[in-house]
Amino acid sequence: MTSNQIITFDITDDLRKLAIKYAKNAEIGGKSQIFTGKERQARLAEDQLIGQLGEMFGDILQSGTTEFYIKHREECDENPFKGDGGYDLPGNIDIKCSKMRYSQDPMKYNLVVRPRERGEGKAYILALVTADEAKIHLMGQITDQQLEIIGHQDLRFGDAKVVATRHLAPIRRRNG
């Protein structure tokens, strides 16, 4: 994919408030996938917010609304220790969202998928929230089968499969 295939949304105050609501509930039983110890706990609220923004804007991209996002989060909130079942959108799609901390060039980021997050028939979308949290970029997608072929291991991420953004497929919109 190329930079002109990135789909970017503004994060409005109303949508941020909705994501914050569900991020607080997601903190129960949640943990950072990147950091450990005190740093993990300190970043939990921010990590959950970033993840919720990715999930919400994935739904907006696919359906034009937040309807599925709200329904899915309400179901997760009923049993917060169970998690989201490994998917964020219908069709077994998992959004992997990160905050752009080290560069504001979204093409310099990678999709990282850990073994416990993978599953046959799944697809993964990389989403990136700008450092100022004003915008979100929906970068590209890859199926689990493609991830097995294209993905490589990077010592920084342990046994996770890593794919450079340029190797992701452009995101197909469900609603046309």
> How long a stretch of residues is the chain?
176
Distance CA 117, CA 106 (A): 23
pLDDT digits (tens, 9 = 90+) for 25-56: 776 554 445 545 566 566 788 989 999 999 99
pLDDT at 38: 62
| Element (DSSP H or E) covering residue 75 | helix 67-78
The domain ranges of the chain are 3-167
pLDDT digits (tens, 9 = 90+) for 109-136: 999 999 999 999 999 999 999 999 999 9
**Model pTM score:** 0.88
